[in-house]
Amino acid sequence: MKRTILLSVAVLVFVVLVAFKSNKNRDQFDSKYFDGNWTYRSLHNAPAETPFANLEFATAVMRFKKHTGDSIFGILDMGPGYALNLKGKITTCNETTTFYIEGSGVPNSNTANWEYDYQGYIVPKWKNGIQQADACVGSVIRSKPHGNAKAGQTASFYLVRQ
């Protein structure tokens, strides 16, 4: 009887450990996913009657080149003299990968003292989707005022891998 109980407990512990390891692996994300260039588009969060052509907030390229564990680093390139340094964290929970990125202006440039925060998630691929590109969606906020631009301005954004 003692052997049966001990064997049952050992099997139960083994099953729990395998399940824990499998869930842990599922909730880890390879930050290399972001490596490369992404087309960035953001749109004002405006009322439905606003013509689509009037919704553009920003157009740029996000270039991610470095990663360590759950951290990513890169540049938001808006054209000559306009860039933000990017640093962020990636989190995966229940098979959903989210990210938080801080964008800060480049010293001694047109973007000196700019600060923006980006929060988003990776769009999952459709099982039967055709020619799906890697994509992310989210929200951006101007965290610090610059020029006539007030802090607190928000927009929705999307990223598509180039």
pLDDT > 80? residue 143: yes
Instruction: Indicate whether 134 belongs to any domain.
Output: yes
In this structure, what is the dihedral angle of CA atoms 150, 156, 157, 158, given to the nearest 10 degrees?
Answer: 180
Q: CB neighbours (10 Å) of residue 102?
A: 15
Query: What does the alpha-carbon distance between residue 8 and residue 151 come to, in Å, rounded to a whole number?
Result: 60
Give the pTM: 0.81
The total domain count for the chain is 1
In a domain, 46, yes or no: yes
143 part of a folded domain: yes
Contact by Cβ (8 Å): 117, 8: no
Residue 8 lies in a domain: no
Position 24 pLDDT exceeds 50: no
User: Cβ atoms within 10 A of the Cβ of 132, count?
Assistant: 10
Residue 7 lies in a domain: no
With cut-offs at 50, 70 and 90, classify the pLDDT of residue 91. very high
Q: Supply the range of the domain harboring residue 104.
A: 29-161
CATH code of 111's domain: 2.40.128.30
Domain assignment present for 150: yes
pLDDT at 38 over 50: yes
